[in-house]
Chains A and B, each alone.
Chain A
Amino acid sequence: MIAVLGLVVGVVAGLLVRPEVPAAVEPYLPIAVVAALDAVFGGLRAMLDGIFDDKVFVVSFLSNVVVAALIVFLGDELGVGAQLSTGVVVVLGIRIFSNAAAIRRHVFQA
């Protein structure tokens, strides 16, 4: 519950503050958000499975974000930033879908 409240607070704060995204961070923010979403879905699934561990969640969340940003950064440096971003988003999307399927099985028993 506290976690859901945290998410709501974050969204409200982002909408209210509306900070200007720094140009250096701009290409990485969307990928980082998708990676974090992946970690959150993974965490939710782990919770439903009853094996949720906050340490694992924190580490996977942060490492997901960092690695995703790193891949995009590397892609930009190599000149294939757009393709690599697409690849990362596809991979993360697949994982999110599989996690979401597991969550669905738990929640709806179907």
Chain B
Amino acid sequence: MSNHDETPENRLRRELPEEVRASARGAVNAPETVDLPGGGPAELTGRQRLAKSLWPPRVSRAQLIVALLLSGLGFGLAVQVASNSDSDTALRGARQEDLVRILDELDDRTQRLEDEKQGLEKQRAELENSSNQAEEARRQTVEKEGQLGILAGTVAARGPGITITIDDTKGTVEANMLLDAIQELRAAGAEAMQVNGVRVVAGTYLSDAGDAVGVDGNKIKAPYRLKVIGKPQDLEPALNIPGGVVQTLEKEQATVTIERSDKIVVDALRAAKQPDYARSSSR
């Protein structure tokens, strides 16, 4: 550098007068110089020196050294340009501050997207949860509908229980005796029952009708067959207790047969009836 610094300084000092001289001479003596190319170096203009050095080519030590250095420069230049231009990412030439800023922006964006993702996942979890809850509620409703239907007599029921057959040849069995039997069975835990094809529910009423018995207005005749779903081990003793239903009926000379069964089907149905006055208080 020091060498080089020194050169321009010398040049600068010398340049102005020389150049003025050269241009003045160029204006005046230009044809002469062209006519005499072999003149002294001091009389040549820069252009002529350039042309002279370019053609004809001379092999000298200086030329070879300069050629070597210039080939090195050309090599480095080409390599640098190639490595710069074939870099596929646009970030390669970016400055550090730009890179930091881009990185920050990416971080922010990542953060935002992460937040959004979390929100959406939470929403999805809530939706799944609520859908599960709705499913559960529906299932419970169906279950409850079944239970209430059994109570109200709107659906058929099956399960373990007993069958009671009351054979009344003398026509002495009255409605109150059947009612006693039904109450006793209810007290023993009967869950669904029917008598001669009429479902017995909470609102069932019995009435005497000559030699028959009216159950909810349907006249049924002996033999009375009660199908009862409940725990057989509870139902049967409840009827057989001393002074109970069976003894009372046998005193009236009716025959009572009780059969336990694992599979009783109570398939007599009642129509569901909308109450006229009572409304659910939960609404």
Using a CB–CB cutoff of 8 Å, the interface residues on chain A facing chain B are 1-15, 18-21, 26, 29-30, 32-33, 36-40, 42-43, 45-52, 54, 56-64, 67, 82, 95, 98-99, 102-103, 105-107, 109
Contacts and interface: CB of A to CB of B under 8 A. Distances in A.
Q: 4 smallest A-B Cβ distances: which pairs? A: A14-B78, A106-B46, A10-B74, A6-B67
Interface string B45-72: 1110110011111110111111111111
Contact of A61 (B10, B69, B74, B83): B69
Interface of B: 1-4, 7-8, 10-11, 15, 18-19, 23, 26, 41-42, 44-47, 49-50, 53-59, 61-80, 82-83, 95-96
Contacts of A32: 76
Given A63-B3, A107-B47, A9 B74 contact: yes
Given A14-B77, A45-B11, 8 more contacts: A1-B57, A3-B67, A9-B74, A33-B73, A37-B77, A52-B62, A57-B66, A60-B3
B67 A5 contact: yes
B103 to A, nearest CB: 16
A77 to B, nearest CB: 15
Contacts of A46: 7, 11
Contacts of A21: 79-80, 83
